[in-house]
A and B are shown apart, each in its own frame.
Chain A
Amino acid sequence: MCLAVPGQVKDIFDAGGTRMGRVNFGGITKEVCLAYLPDIGVGDYTIVHVGFAISKIDEESAQKTLRMFHDLGILEEELGGAP
């Protein structure tokens, strides 16, 4: 369930009182409703489900996770423990 795809907010505009934006997904731009993320700004990353941005991506957390993956098993390799 819940196919939600990450994209970057390119611009923000108002459509009849509703906060909308153009979000860039790896080269594809689509109009997205930003009403549920009142604090999101241009340049921020968000995940989008059925045309709605539902969460701002915490880039620091993402980098931390990737760093953690990178460090996984390093100690073990150093000790010669990897299979």
Chain B
Amino acid sequence: MSWTCPLPLRDYPNIVLGHGGGGTLSAELVANLFLPAFRNVAIESLGDSAVLRVPAGRLAFSTDSYVVRPLFFPGGCIGDLAINGTVNDLAMSGAKPLYLSVGFIIEEGLPMSTLGEIVEAMRAAAEKAGVQIVTGDTKVVEKGHGDGCYINTAGIGIIPEGREVGPGRAKPSDAIIVSGTIGDHGMAVMSVREGLEFDTIIESDSAALNGLVEAIFGASGEIHVLRDPTRGGLASSLNEIASQSNVGMALHEHRLPVKPDVQAACELLGMDPIYVANEGKLVAIVSQSAAESVLRAMRGHSMGRDAEIIGTVVTERPGMVTAKTKIGGTRVIPMQIGEQLPRIC
């Protein structure tokens, strides 16, 4: 990553408690690190709040906190996760994301260069997603707390009229479409954790999906549900939707797109990709008649090249997700209990 330490910050190779104290050190951090990265009128006014003019309409508002360990992993870091995650949550309501806030909780002793790289990643992700970071906060906690760095982002966006999506809107006969390969992010993180190292690079799929969402709405007005399956994987998201919409879901196992190396990593650890986290994928539940055109639109977008229709919403067994196995049997895909652990047996 290309980040060089600005002059005033070079006196402090590591974050100290003073950087969160509201005094000179804090001001220097804002002026020399955050402002240059998040360059925009709102943030540069340095008011206690960002003052923004927003178009009329329904406001979508989302927040999320990021505590990923390790901070850097193949294909990304906590910084781009923090931006893309909130951008995506807004986009899943059908909103066009506009403005984000960012709150840092940094552990005393974190190298300044590490923070610099994280901020640079956030800048790049925000630019790519077309959003602005307009306000923020920094706190520093004592060494031994904070795991290096925690980030919270909150965001607002406007939902254009006519878009009515929500987890309770799935209808029987709807098509279930996933935007690409599942399990990439979770296995990328797993691949660098102590004791479970692989020699091959599996990359996280961390990405902003608002562009893809626009493409989907461009194809059809019959989009019922959008969801980005992060923790707990595709299985958890589908279970939640099935429950909230009071419908069943019937999937076809062989249609789930999985990268061969992600599949191999899952085989080695005895894990199931359907429960593994994603950070750049969405599932769209759309009316049967719109399925083909939505699929085409998704595949025509850079974020949806590997999109697949993986199943159908059904009336039977409401709240339950089932799948036809490759050999013709049927399995239930329940909600995950806690974190999926690697197994030897």
Direct contact, A vs B (beta carbon within 8 Å): yes
Interface residues of A (CB under 8 A from B): 1-3, 5, 22, 25-31, 48-50
Contact B264 A28 (CB under 8 A): yes
B269 nearest CB neighbor, chain A only: A3
Which of A1, A22, A26, A49 is in CB contact (< 8 Å) with B267? Answer: A26
Q: Which residues of B contact A49 (CB under 8 A)?
A: 344
Contact B344 A28 (CB under 8 A): no
Q: Which residues of B contact A30 (CB under 8 A)?
A: 197-199, 268
Interface string of B296-336 (1 = CB under 8 A from A): 00000000000000000000000000000000000000000
B197 nearest CB neighbor, chain A only: A30
Chain B, interface size category, equals 10 to 19
Q: Which residues of A contact B1 (CB under 8 A)?
A: none
A28 nearest CB neighbor, chain B only: B264
| Contact A26 to B264, CB < 8 A, known contacts A3-B270, A31-B199 | yes
Contact B343 A27 (CB under 8 A): no
Which of B268, B344, B345 is in CB contact (< 8 Å) with A25? Answer: B268
Interface residues of B (CB under 8 A from A): 197-200, 202, 260-261, 263-265, 267-268, 270, 343-345
- Residue in B198, B260, B261, B268 whose Cβ sees the most chain A Cβ within 10 Å: B268
Interchain nearest-CB distance for B52 vs A (Å): 46
Q: Which residues of B contact A25 (CB under 8 A)?
A: 264, 267-268
Contact B264 A27 (CB under 8 A): yes
A29 nearest CB neighbor, chain B only: B199
Complex formed: what's the CA distance from A50 to B270 in Å? Answer: 11
Contact A28 B345 (CB under 8 A): no
Contact B200 A5 (CB under 8 A): no
Interchain nearest-CB distance for B196 vs A (Å): 10
Which of A2, A29, A50 is in CB contact (< 8 Å) with B200? Answer: A29
Complex formed: what's the CA distance from A29 to B265 in Å? Answer: 9
| Contact A22 to B199, CB < 8 A, known contacts A5-B268, A27-B260, A27-B264 | yes
Q: Which residues of A contact B199 (CB under 8 A)?
A: 22, 28-31
A-B contact pairs, 17 of them (CB 8 A): A1-B345, A3-B270, A25-B264, A25-B267, A26-B260, A26-B261, A27-B261, A28-B199, A28-B202, A28-B261, A28-B265, A28-B268, A29-B199, A30-B197, A30-B198, A30-B268, A48-B268
Contact A50 B344 (CB under 8 A): yes
Complex formed: what's the CA distance from A30 to B199 in Å? Answer: 6
Q: Which residues of A contact B263 (CB under 8 A)?
A: 26
